[in-house]
Amino acid sequence: MGRVSSFCRDFFIERRSIQSKILFPFIVFSFLAILMVVLLVFQILSKNIEARTDRDVLAYQETAEALILEKKKQTIQYGSLLAFFRSRSAKQAESVLERSMDISHMDLLVKEGVKIYIEPDRFLNGGNRDQRELVKRGMRGESYSDLIFKTTDNTPRFDFDAVAPYEVDGRTDFVMVGFSLDHDYLDEIQSLIKNDLFILQNDRVVASTFHDPQWHKKIEAKITPQLLQRTLVEGENVLAKVYLSDKEYKAVYAPLSLGATRKAIFGLIMSTNDLAQTKRKVINNYIAVSVVILVILTLINFFIVNAMSRPLKEMALLTDSVAHGDLTHRIHIDSQDELSDLADSLNNMVAALQKQREELDLTVEQLIHQEKLASLGGMAAGIAHEVGNPLSIIVGYTRMLLRRDPRGENRDHLQRISEAARRIERLSRSLLMYSRPTVQNQENLDINRVIEDSLAMVEHQFKEERNYRVVKRLSPNVRQLTGSPSRLQQVFVNLFNNSFQAMPAGGVLTISTKSSDDREMLVVEITDTGTGIPPSQLPRIFDPFFTTKSEEKGTGLGLSITQRIVSDHHGRIRVAGAPGEGTTFTISFPYLPSGSPDQPVSQTPQGSPPADRPRRSNR
């Protein structure tokens, strides 16, 4: 009991979970609904059983009364037949056979319970008023019958008597027959209808089938002036409940109409215990079925509520995981309803938070990188300043020597010195521009110049002794773009370095620029003959922190930053390749709206090798 009470207190009072908030009212309301239905069924069933009892008891009463009326009819017929035989036997010419038939008929009447009165005219002096009236009618030659109340040996009873007149030698005579409505006769009827009977004279039982004298008193106690008025005067059948020997019975009080007036009440009682037991059995069965249905509905409701609360618990765990910083947790609900939609929305929200966190981490990495580049920019500025003066002197003296001895034997050496110095100058200038902090101001730029400056920064890696070649197909017909030179330089440097690292044994790097077919976009293609990229990794190549390189060679941020810079310039970057077939990066930038495709503005920098002219190894 302690565990049960603890569970109920925790489930219904303290925790107040969704299950308890739904199950408890459901159980209470279901119980009340079943209780109301049981009460309603009880009332309806009680009324139906009551009506059925009334119909049955009235039917039994009508059957018993019909038997009495049939007895009345037979008695009158027997009296008429007896009068006929009396009239025949009184004639002189009557045969002995007819007289013997009269005697046999009288014996038959006695066996049938019909009384034959000898010398009925004696009742003119000793009978009651009803008997005297009956005799007088017989003497006048009238056929007449009536219900007569008699008292014999202080025992009251009702008799039904009838007179049948006949003619003898010109004078009128009659026979008088009848039968008693006493205990024996009622027992005979009770054996047929299986219910107890009684006859009342006003408020006194004069005949019955009762074996318990107390029943007489309880039946007589129900007699009221109103009941006598309704039965004897108005001729109604009155139904009433009586309790005999602690059992319930249904009684009917009906007028006994055997004569000219209503003088007696004929009644019948029927036990209602069997019907009451049937009613209780039906109610008990209905309660049992209702309880089973309540339990089944409660279990179904419990499983439904549990199916609802389980996804909510999973959602709560998801929010707790997010609150503790775990953005990798997901929930899976297959209910295909609003809860499933809510779970999908939470998963999408967490995925968006995870993506934002990754972008934030990427931004932090970019800020750190930019901070490093800013520091490097300061160093590069000092280096460029320190290197710039000696380079200027070298270039100046080289030019002076070339003017003095334009055809000397050292001309070729001097030209190489001058070219090397200019190359160092471009490299220091490009390094300075690349390492400066990113400037968001947009300006018109020449994409070929940006590519040349970017290539100058990494071209030293493509050494001739390692058998690298750089093929440049920079179209002079491309137009200017709007963007940040330093940020675009970062894009190309990153792509060039990736190509260099993808060709550890040497190879060819091809760089081309051209206009799209509709002259609306500038297209830059960077192709290498390196190891290539597996098809399964192509969809993830621009994801932050995704890399196929070792930890000392890359962090997985280069291509992600590259894609971000290209997107900031309203461009698109695509990648294609296969293992062993190299990789091609295609970048598309929109032209300036005011540019003209027929007037190119891009110029190949001085000192750059001609397009499509590879640098070959001397080996």
Q: What residues does each domain of the chain span?
A: 184-271, 322-354, 355-437, 442-619
pLDDT in tens, 539-569: 877 776 667 665 445 556 678 778 888 988 8
Given 3.90.79.10, 3.40.718.10, 2.10.260.10, 3.30.565.10, which CATH number is that of 442-619?
3.30.565.10
Please provide the average confidence, as pLDDT, over all residues in the chain. Answer: 78
Place of tokens 């970019």: 366
pLDDT of residue 588: 93
The average pLDDT across 389-398 equals 79
pLDDT in tens, 407-422: 767 777 777 887 777 7
In the predicted model, is pLDDT for residue 495 greater than 60?
yes
Percent of the chain with pLDDT over 90: 8
| pLDDT higher at 6 or 130 | 130
CATH architecture of 355-437: Orthogonal Bundle (1.10)
pLDDT in tens, 318-338: 888 888 888 888 887 776 777
- Length of the chain equals 619
Bridge-based pairing of strands 196-201 and 264-271 is antiparallel
pLDDT of residue 78: 83
| Contacts with 392 (C-beta within 8 Å, 6 or more apart), sequence order | none
Of the listed ranges 76-85, 399-408, 513-522, the least confidently predicted one is 399-408
- Quick check: 199 and 183 in contact, CB under 8 A? no
pLDDT of residue 525: 94
Distance, in Å, from the CA atom of 212 to the CA atom of 215, rounded to the nearest integer, reads: 6
Place of tokens 């006769």: 185
The sign of the torsion formed by the CA atoms of 241, 246, 247, 253 equals negative
The average pLDDT across 431-445 equals 63
Distance, in Å, from the CA atom of 159 to the CA atom of 180, rounded to the nearest integer, reads: 4
| pLDDT higher at 140 or 373 | 140
Place of tokens 């992600």: 560
Distance, in Å, from the CA atom of 294 to the CA atom of 282, rounded to the nearest integer, reads: 18
Angle value at C-alpha 466, between 461 and 471, nearest 5 degrees = 65
Alpha-carbon radius of gyration of the chain: 64
Phi-psi region of 602 (alpha: psi -120 to 50; beta: other; left: phi over 0): beta
- The pTM of the full predicted model, rounded to 2 decimals, is 0.46
pLDDT of residue 595: 43
- Quick check: 192 and 67 in contact, CB under 8 A? yes
Distance, in Å, from the CA atom of 610 to the CA atom of 442, rounded to the nearest integer, reads: 30
Distance, in Å, from the CA atom of 449 to the CA atom of 426, rounded to the nearest integer, reads: 11
Phi-psi region of 50 (alpha: psi -120 to 50; beta: other; left: phi over 0): alpha
Contacts 24+ apart (CB under 8 A), 532-537: 532/502, 532/577, 532/578, 532/579, 532/580, 532/581, 532/582, 532/583, 533/575, 533/577, 533/578, 533/579, 533/583, 534/578, 534/579, 535/578
Angle value at C-alpha 299, between 293 and 304, nearest 5 degrees = 125
Q: In what order do the strands lie in the sheet with 204-208?
A: 204-208, 196-201, 264-271, 247-256, 238-244
The per-residue b/e assignment along 261-300, b for 16 or more CB within 10 angstroms, e otherwise, is: ebbbbbbbbbebeebeeebeeebeebeeebeeebeeeeee
Query: 572 forms bridges with which residues in the sheet?
Result: 588
pLDDT of residue 601: 39
Burial class (CB in 10 A: 0-12, 13-18, 19+), 50: middle
pLDDT of residue 598: 39
In the predicted model, is pLDDT for residue 121 greater than 60?
yes
Given 3.40.50.300, 3.30.450.40, 3.30.420.610, 3.20.20.70, which CATH number is that of 184-271?
3.30.450.40
